[in-house]
């Protein structure tokens, strides 16, 4: 039987992930779930939020479903460490960022597709004063391992770094700035990783019939990194004559977000820009309660909602949070392992619940989160799962 590693993590990750498994069981997906330790609890107890045994589990079974983790700044993290571990050099790092690096999960896919009848869908005012609701069907391909998030950065850069940078004429502008007053984050883009993400975007567009792939960068300013990506995109696009290559600048794209989101199909970008643009589009289709994602490498793939652990809501019982982002992440997992029919069943059931509009979590009712949302008509997390299960065919 297929084995899936499940990593609930912290906060609402512990709530939405078990609900996804309840749904997967209800739809008849045959799998064995192997639970893995990850998150804040293990940082506090063991000084490691991502124990080696968890890495080994994922390496063995290759497919994981992940909930969310809590990350805190360095000092706060040190404070919560078990007293016996304090001062022993343990340093907190984000386990999901680490997983992306360890398994080279370089392709991040974030679909932002509106569900009919979702009260959170973006609407646009027309010139005659009436409104229209454009159907958004965008899938963002975010380079997940390098670019501005590669982690090559310094505050007070060492002398060799400073000297190396000073070989560039533009560094003259900073000649009089003392190193201790300087912070540097690098944006490293490589040919191989760019080719992989851009090719993946085009392949996906071809497979699912999208008519365009948009490279969303800033090549007029970031001439080297964005420039290289654009050059590669132009080259790769030659193999996909039926798909148009568009290129937009990240800033302009954010402005066009609400002007013509329905015009875009696949969007591909470097790590940081991909992060920005995917949150932007997610906002048009319902926000964090709907934003799902896949992190895909050559061997391992991890599926997760893009939201965090929402500590504000973790203790509410019954829980109020929307499990749909987690469900849609499980749908992405099913598609990845070729269970398209089961995936479609879940997707249809979610669509029916949303369109019918009888069962809605607090976010869908535009309520402020809290224990009083139920008396205002909101469904609990578990009631949402029940509603989706009841619509499975
Ligand atoms: P968050 O995504 O956890 O929550 C922000 C707000 O979004 C919540 O207060 C809530 O109003 C709403 N929200 C989130 N998920 C929702 C859902 N399923 N249904 C309805 N509403 C939902 O982000 P925040 O508060 O910035 O971070 C909390 C913790 O999560 C931090 O420790 C942060 O480091 C971590 N985090 C972890 C991520 C991950 O595991 N991949 C991603 C983002 C944040
Ligand atoms: Mg983000």
Residues in the chain: 393
Residue of the CA atom closest to atom 27 of ligand 1: 308
Domain 122-147+189-284 class, CATH top level: alpha beta
pLDDT by residue (tens digit) across 239-248? 999 999 999 9
Identify the pLDDT of residue 160. 97
CB of 309 within 6 A of ligand 1: the answer is yes
Query: What is the pLDDT confidence band of residue 202, given thresholds at 50, 70 and 90?
Result: very high
Whether residue 74 has pLDDT greater than 90: no
Identify the pLDDT of residue 75. 85
Tell me the CA–centroid distance for residue 278 and ligand 2, in Å.
Answer: 8
Given the CA of residue 305, which atom of ligand 1 is nearest to it? 41
- Choose one of 309, 324, 327 to mutate for the ligand 1 pocket test, by most ligand atoms within 8 angstroms of C-beta: 309
Identify the pLDDT of residue 1. 87
pLDDT by residue (tens digit) across 301-354? 999 999 999 999 999 999 999 999 999 999 999 999 999 999 999 999 999 999
Residue 64 three-state SS = strand
Measured between its terminal Cα atoms, the distance across the chain in Å is 23
The model's pTM is 0.95
One fold for 1-106+293-393 and 122-147+189-284:
no
CB of 110 within 6 A of ligand 1: the answer is no
Tell me the CA–centroid distance for residue 274 and ligand 2, in Å.
Answer: 9
What is the CATH code of the structural domain delimited by 1-106+293-393? 3.40.718.10
pLDDT by residue (tens digit) across 4-20? 999 999 999 999 999 99
Query: What is the pLDDT confidence band of residue 97, given thresholds at 50, 70 and 90?
Result: confident
Identify the pLDDT of residue 73. 84
Average pLDDT, the chain: 97
The closest of 285, 201, 281, 292 to 244, measured between CA atoms, is 201
Q: What is the mean pLDDT of the segment spanning 358-373?
A: 97
CB of 308 within 6 A of ligand 1: the answer is yes
Tell me the CA–centroid distance for residue 66 and ligand 1, in Å.
Answer: 14
Please name which ligand lies nearest the alpha carbon of 292: 1
The full DSSP string for 176-217 is TS-GGG-EEE--B--HHHHHHHHHHHHHHHHHHT-SEEEEEE
pLDDT by residue (tens digit) across 276-301? 999 999 999 999 999 999 999 999 99
Q: Domain residue spans in the chain? A: 1-106+293-393, 122-147+189-284, 152-185
Tell me the CA–centroid distance for residue 94 and ligand 1, in Å.
Answer: 14
Query: What is the pLDDT confidence band of residue 95, given thresholds at 50, 70 and 90?
Result: very high
Tell me the CA–centroid distance for residue 277 and ligand 2, in Å.
Answer: 9
């Amino acid at each position: 039987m297929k084995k899936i590693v499940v990593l609930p993590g912290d906060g609402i990750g512990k709530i939405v992930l078990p609900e996804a498994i309840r749904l997967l069981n209800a739809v008849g997906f045959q799998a064995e779930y192997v639970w893995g330790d990850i998150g804040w609890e293990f940082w506090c107890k063991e000084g490691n939020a991502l124990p080696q045994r968890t890495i080994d589990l994922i390496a063995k079974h290759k497919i994981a479903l992940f909930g969310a983790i809590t990350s805190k700044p360095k000092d706060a993290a040190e404070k919560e460490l078990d007293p016996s571990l304090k001062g022993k050099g343990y340093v907190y790092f984000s386990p999901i960022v680490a997983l992306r690096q360890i398994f080279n999960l370089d392709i991040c896919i974030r679909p932002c597709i509106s569900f009919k009848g979702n009260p959170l869908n973006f609407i646009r005012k027309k010139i005659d004063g009436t409104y229209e609701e454009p159907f958004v069907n965008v899938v963002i391909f975010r380079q997940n391992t390098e670019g501005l998030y590669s982690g090559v950065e310094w505050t007070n850069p060492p002398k060799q770094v400073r000297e190396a940078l000073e070989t560039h004429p533009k560094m003259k502008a900073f000649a009089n700035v003392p190193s201790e007053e300087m912070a540097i984050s690098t944006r490293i883009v490589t040919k191989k990783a760019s080719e992989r993400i851009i090719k993946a975007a085009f392949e996906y567009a071809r497979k699912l019939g999208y008519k365009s792939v948009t490279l969303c960068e800033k090549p007029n300013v970031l001439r080297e990194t964005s420039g290289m990506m654009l050059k590669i995109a132009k080259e790769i696009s030659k193999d996909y004559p039926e798909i148009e290559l568009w290129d937009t600048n990240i800033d302009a794209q954010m402005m066009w977000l609400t002007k013509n989101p329905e015009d875009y199909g696949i969007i591909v970008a470097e790590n940081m820009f991909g992060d920005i643009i995917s949150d932007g589009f997610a906002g048009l289709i319902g926000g964090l309660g709907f934003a799902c994602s896949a992190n895909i490498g050559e061997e391992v793939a991890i599926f997760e909602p893009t939201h965090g652990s929402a500590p504000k809501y973790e203790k509410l019982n019954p829980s109020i949070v929307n499990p749909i982002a987690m469900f849609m992440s499980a749908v992405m997992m099913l598609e990845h392992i070729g269970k398209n029919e089961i995936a479609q069943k879940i997707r249809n059931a979610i669509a029916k619940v949303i369109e019918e509009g009888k069962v809605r979590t607090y976010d869908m009712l535009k309520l402020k989160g809290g224990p009083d949302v139920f008396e205002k008509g909101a469904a609990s997390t578990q009631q949402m799962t029940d509603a989706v299960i009841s619509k499975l065919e």
